[in-house]
Amino acid sequence: MDEIAPRKINYLRLSVTDRCNLRCVYCTYWQDWQKLPATEIMRYEELLRLAAIAAQNGISKVRVTGGEPLVRRGVVDFLRQLHQVPGVTKVCLTTNGVLLRELAPDLYDTGLRHLNISLDTLRRERYRQITGRDNLAAVLGGLERAASLGFHPIKINCVVLKGINDDEVLDLARLAQDRPFQVRFIELMPTVSQEWWRRHFWPINEVHRRLTRLGPLIPAGQEPAAGPAINFHAPEFKGEIGLISTRDGHHCPNCNRLRLTADGKLRPCLLSQAEFDLKGLLRLGLGDDVLAYLFQEAMELKFNRARVSPELSLLPSWPMVSVGG
């Protein structure tokens, strides 16, 4: 077992749905993956109760994700209420951006400012090839609208796929040239078939090498508990470039996050199958003290294993769409 890591588990990622309006090749690889029955998806009042319990137990940052969170009806009101939960000081949203153009003003009104937008290509046909949908214009429109409304920070997440979009790394990085965006390149995680992963995995050091064509990359100061990204400034860029390796585990000892799946399973580690069935207990009528105990247990599991995954992970075992990336 690795050494005990000094850290605070203060970040919860809430998946509000397993539904998505895209069919990204690396995310929905599971042919026999079944959508959750609607009754299995956590209701908003249940999520708010768990968020409040989590906040009483040290969570201060909550990210709403999915599936695609913006396809779930009522998500704007939910975000508004999440901002009111005592102890939750930072609310963030991860979205594919398809519905952002129309929803951005309402989202801004909720108090939301932190946006992560997933975008792997700037080419229409390629976008359709990766996501299965012809929605690039909508996403770019959403990004523009969000920027003009004043969302900040806006982080753009690009999964780099060898032989599919690796030739676009510089173009994607240049989204951060004139705007204060953070463009983050992410290694493909093995939540796909071994064969597909081997064919399309492109290591982050290769991405870094390609990016040096922009000029010398200067390491940017890390925010405390900034997450897995290592950030850089490129010459004359207003924004930053982030690199996220998903393999080497360098982030594990500092990982400060828990995940709650759309069906209410609390997971201490993205790469582990360990989970606590909070929805089951909540619907049995158990009290806040029991649920709080399970948050503490999940935190304890992270504390006591700097890296939770190696002994427990059985990848590939689930598509990202179901656990919330």
Binding piece for ligand SAM, criterion CB under 6 A, among 92-100, 145-153, 252-260, 262-270: 92-100
Q: How far is it, in rounded angstroms, from Cα 146 to Cα 108?
A: 8
Q: How far is the CB of 218 from ligand SAM (least distance, A)?
A: 26
189 lies in the binding site for ligand SAM (CB under 6 A): yes
Render the burial of 126-136: b for 16+ CB within 10 Å, e for the rest: bbeebbebebb
Rounded least distance, CB 8 to ligand SAM, Å: 24
For ligand SAM, the closer CB: 118 or 165: 118
Tell the residue number behind the tokens 């299995």, with chain if given. 40
Which listed residue (9, 82, 243, 321) binds ligand SAM by CB under 6 A?
Answer: 321
Span interacting with ligand SAM, options 73-81, 88-96, 174-182, 283-291, rule CB under 6 A: 88-96
x-marked contacts with ligand SAM along 283-312 as a string, rule CB under 6 A: ------------------------------
Answer positive or negative: Cα dihedral of 243, 246, 247, 251. positive
Query: Which one among 14, 16, 27, 136 touches ligand SAM, defined by CB under 6 A?
Result: 27
| CA distances for 154 relative to 4, 131, 145, 177, angstroms | 33, 21, 12, 13
94 binds ligand SAM (CB under 6 A): yes
Choice from 12, 14, 26, 282 touching ligand SAM (CB under 6 A):
26
Burial (Cβ within 10 Å: 0-12, 13-18, ≥19) of residue 311: exposed
Q: Which is nearer to ligand SAM, 217 or 320 (CB)?
A: 320
Which residue's C-beta sits nearest to ligand SAM?
325
Nearest to 226 by CA among 261, 245, 251, 198: 251
Q: Tell me whether residue 27 or residue 85 sits nearer to ligand SAM (CB atom).
A: 27
Nearer CB in complex with ligand SAM: 189/294: 189
Q: Which of 186, 229, 234, 262 binds ligand SAM (CB under 6 A)?
A: 186
Minimum Å distance from CB 194 to ligand SAM? Answer: 13
Query: Please, which residues have CB within 8 angstroms of residue 206's CB and are 6 or more apart in sequence?
Result: 166
Residues 110-129 that bind ligand SAM (CB under 6 A): 118
Q: What are phi and psi of 4, to 5 degrees?
A: -70, 130
x/- letters, 129..158, toward ligand SAM (CB under 6 A) = ----------------------------x-
Distance CA 88, CA 294 (A): 19
From candidates 160, 188, 270, 291, binder to ligand SAM by CB under 6 A: 188
Residues 191/320, Cβ–Cβ less than 8 Å: yes
Q: How far is 152 from 249, CA to CA, in rounded Å? A: 28
Contact between 28 and ligand SAM per CB under 6 A? no
CB 160 within 8 A of CB 207: yes
Which region among 165-173, 184-192, 282-290, 305-313 touches ligand SAM (by CB under 6 A)? 184-192
- Taking the C-alpha atoms of residue 209 and residue 202, their distance in angstroms, rounded to an integer, is 12
In the structure encoding, which two tokens stand for residue 275, read together?
């989970």
Using the rule CB under 6 A, which residue among 57, 61, 68, 228 binds ligand SAM?
68
Tell me whether residue 80 is exposed, middle or buried, using C-beta atoms within 10 angstroms of its C-beta: 0 to 12, 13 to 18, 19 or more.
middle
**Sign of the C-alpha dihedral, residues 223, 226, 231, 237?**
negative
Interacting residues with ligand SAM (CB under 6 A): 20, 26-27, 65-66, 68, 94-96, 118, 157, 159, 186, 188-189, 191-192, 320-321, 325
